[in-house]
C-alpha cells in the first residue's frame, strides 16, 4: 500500500541505495559514503534525517537566491495553488507566465522583447540553438543554411544532445561524441596554464584573435556564438578578462552572427549584477535563464530573444514558419509565481547590494589562500568562487586523480556542517546572493579549514606511500 511508503520510519537509506540513480555520481562510491538525506530547511540551512544542520554553501546547486522557506515565496506559491497549479501554454495562456515575462523583459538588457519558457538550463540553451538555426533559414526569402555554432573551449551548457554538442568538457561529453553535431571551438580566454611559446599576455591576445579569425573565415556557416558571459561555471569557475564579452558581441555584429548568452549560472545576482551581460553593456540576441529564476524553488527556464528573431517566425500557419518546440510544463504557474516573488525580493531586500558586500567578504577571507603552496588559483567573480588545488603550485602538478582531493574536501565540510560540491579538484563556493555576510564568512572559514585538513593528509600519505 502507498501508505507504507509514506511512513515516518520508512527505510529511506535502503530505498535510496536500491532504487535511485543520482546524477553525475559514481554510484559504487555513493552507496559506501551515505550522503545526508535532506528532510527540512530553515533560511540558508538544510537538515537531514539525523537532525544534523548544514550551511548551504552551493545554493542547492547554484539556484537558491534568498534562502529556503522564504515566507514571501512560500506565500506566492500557496496563493497560486488556490487558483491553478498548472495548465499549459500550448493553446492557452497563463496569468503568472504573462506577468513574469513582462517583469523579465523589463529587467533584461535592452532589445530583448520575447520570452520562450522551458523547464531547465539545458532546455533554454537548446531552444536558443534551434531558434538561431531556424532564424537564418527564415530571415529572408532565400534564407541561409547556417548549421555551425562557435563555442568557447571547456564550455558546459547542459546535457541534452544539442547542448552537449556545444560543450567542451571531455569528461562529461566524450561518451556521446558520435551523436553530436559539428561545431567550431575557440580557446577559453584564461591564462593559468598557457601553451609553450606564449606568455600570459600573448596567450590572452591569441584567445581574442581566434574569435575574430574563426568568424572571419566561417561566418557564412555560423548561426551563433554560444558562451557563458564573464564566468564559465562548470569548467571550474573560469573568469574571463574584462572586455572579452564586449569583443565577442562586436564581432558578432560585424559578421552578422547571433550571440547566445547562457546566463543559467551567472544570472540573478551571481556575478554582482542581475545579469552578467550588464557589466560590459552587452545586448545578446538570446539570453538563457534558469536556476535562480524561481528563487531556487521550482524548475523553470526562459529563453529571451529580440523582435528581429521573433519576426522571422511570423507568417500564415500554412507557411510552416512556426517554432515547433515546447514542453509540457512550459510556463508552469507555480514556478512563475515563485519567479515573480523572487524578483520582488531583489528590490525589497536590496539583494544586489548585499551580494556586493558578500563578494568583498569572500575576497578578504580567502586572501590568505592566494599564496598557499597547494592552491593554484583562487578565481572569483561576485559570488562565484573556484579554488583550484594542486600538488605543487609552481609547476601546477595535479594531485593523483585517484586521491579525489575535491571530493574529500566536501566530506570534511559535511563533518563541519557545510555543504560543498567540487568540480574535480576545484572547490566551488557559491553562496546565495541573499545570504548574510556573517554566514558568507563562515563558509569561507570552514572551507579553508577543510582544504588544509585534506591537503595535509594527502601530503602525509604521499610521503609515506599510503593511499588516501
* Confidence (pLDDT) at 7: 82
Q: Per-residue pLDDT averaged across 280-299, rounded? A: 98
Is the separation of the CB atoms in 458 and 68 below 8 Å?
no
Is the separation of the CB atoms in 269 and 383 below 8 Å?
yes
Is the separation of the CB atoms in 123 and 163 below 8 Å?
no
User: Using 50, 70 and 90 to split pLDDT, how confident is the model at 467?
Assistant: low
* Confidence (pLDDT) at 465: 77
For the purposes of burial, counting CB atoms within 10 Å of the CB of 285, is it exposed (0-12), middle (13-18) or buried (19 or more)? Answer: buried
In 35-120, alpha helices (H): 59-62, 71-81, 95-107
Rounded Cα distance between 117 and 325, Å, is 10
* Proportion of the chain above pLDDT 90, given as a percent: 93
Rounded Cα distance between 64 and 56, Å, is 9
- If one counts every other C-beta atom within 10 angstroms of the C-beta of residue 283, the result is 17
| pLDDT > 80? residue 451 | yes
Query: Measured between alpha carbons, how far is residue 87 from residues 94, 124, 168, 293, 294 in Å?
Result: 8, 20, 37, 20, 18
Q: What is the pTM of this model?
A: 0.97
Is the separation of the CB atoms in 164 and 180 below 8 Å?
yes
* Confidence (pLDDT) at 420: 98
What confidence tens digit (pLDDT) does each residue in 356-383 have? 999 999 999 999 999 999 999 999 999 9
| pLDDT > 60? residue 468 | no
Residues recorded for the chain: 468
Placement of cell 555584429 in the chain: 253
The maximal CA–CA distance of the chain, rounded, in angstroms, is 75
| Weakest-pLDDT range from 72-86, 164-178, 253-267 | 164-178
Q: Per-residue pLDDT averaged across 265-278, rounded? A: 98
For the purposes of burial, counting CB atoms within 10 Å of the CB of 167, is it exposed (0-12), middle (13-18) or buried (19 or more)? Answer: buried
Domains of the chain with bracketed CATH: 2-66+350-464 (3.90.1150.10), 72-348 (3.40.640.10)
Placement of cell 573565415 in the chain: 217
Amino acid at each position: 500500500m502507498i501508505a507504507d511508503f509514506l511512513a515516518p520510519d520508512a527505510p529511506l537509506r535502503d530505498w535510496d541505495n536500491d532504487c535511485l540513480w543520482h546524477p553525475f555520481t559514481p554510484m559504487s562510491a555513493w552507496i559506501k559514503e551515505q550522503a545526508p538525506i535532506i528532510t527540512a530547511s530553515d533560511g540558508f540551512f538544510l537538515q537531514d534525517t539525523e537532525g544534523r544542520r548544514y550551511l548551504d554553501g552551493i545554493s542547492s546547486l547554484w539556484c537558491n537566491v534568498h534562502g529556503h522557506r522564504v515566507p514571501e515565496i512560500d506565500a506566492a506559491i500557496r496563493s497560486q495553488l488556490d487558483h491553478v497549479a498548472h495548465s499549459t501554454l500550448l493553446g492557452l495562456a497563463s496569468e503568472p507566465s504573462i506577468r513574469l515575462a513582462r517583469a523579465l523583459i523589463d529587467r533584461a538588457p535592452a532589445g530583448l522583447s520575447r520570452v520562450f519558457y522551458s523547464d531547465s538550463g539545458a532546455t533554454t540553451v537548446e531552444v536558443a540553438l534551434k531558434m538561431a538555426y531556424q532564424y537564418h533559414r527564415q530571415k529572408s526569402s532565400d534564407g541561409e543554411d547556417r548549421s555551425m555554432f562557435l563555442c568557447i573551449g571547456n564550455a558546459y551548457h547542459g546535457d541534452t544532445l544539442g547542448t552537449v554538442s556545444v560543450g567542451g568538457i571531455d569528461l562529461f561529453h566524450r561518451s556521446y561524441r558520435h551523436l553530436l553535431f559539428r561545431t567550431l571551438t575557440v580557446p577559453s580566454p584564461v591564462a593559468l596554464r598557457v601553451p609553450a611559446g606564449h606568455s600570459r599576455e600573448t596567450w590572452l591576445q591569441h584567445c581574442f584573435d581566434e574569435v575574430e579569425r574563426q568568424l572571419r573565415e566561417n561566418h557564412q556557416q555560423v548561426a551563433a556564438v554560444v558562451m557563458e558571459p564573464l564566468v564559465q561555471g562548470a569548467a571550474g569557475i573560469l573568469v574571463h578578462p574584462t572586455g572579452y564579452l564586449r569583443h565577442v558581441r562586436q564581432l558578432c555584429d560585424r559578421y552578422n552572427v547571433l550571440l547566445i548568452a547562457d546566463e543559467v549560472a551567472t544570472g540573478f545576482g551571481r556575478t554582482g549584477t542581475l545579469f552578467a551581460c550588464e557589466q560590459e553593456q552587452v545586448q545578446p540576441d538570446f539570453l538563457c535563464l534558469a536556476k535562480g529564476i524561481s528563487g531556487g524553488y521550482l524548475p523553470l527556464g526562459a529563453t529571451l530573444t529580440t523582435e528581429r528573431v521573433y519576426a522571422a517566425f511570423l507568417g500564415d500557419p500554412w507557411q510552416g514558419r512556426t517554432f515547433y518546440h515546447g514542453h509540457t510544463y512550459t510556463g508552469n504557474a507555480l514556478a512563475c509565481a515563485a519567479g515573480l516573488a523572487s524578483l520582488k525580493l531583489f528590490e525589497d531586500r536590496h539583494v544586489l547590494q548585499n551580494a556586493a558586500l558578500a563578494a568583498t567578504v569572500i575576497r578578504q577571507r580567502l586572501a590568505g589562500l592566494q599564496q598557499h603552496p597547494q592552491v593554484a588559483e583562487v578565481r572569483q567573480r561576485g559570488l562565484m568562487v573556484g579554488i583550484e588545488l594542486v600538488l605543487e603550485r609552481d609547476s601546477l602538478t595535479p594531485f593523483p586523480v585517484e586521491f579525489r582531493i575535491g571530493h574529500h574536501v566536501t566530506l570534511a565540510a559535511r563533518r563541519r556542517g557545510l555543504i560543498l560540491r567540487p568540480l574535480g579538484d576545484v572547490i566551488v563556493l557559491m553562496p546565495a546572493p541573499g545570504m548574510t555576510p556573517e554566514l558568507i564568512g563562515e563558509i569561507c572559514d570552514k572551507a579553508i579549514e577543510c582544504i588544509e585538513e585534506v591537503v595535509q593528509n594527502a601530503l602525509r600519505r604521499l610521503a609515506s606511500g599510503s593511499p588516501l
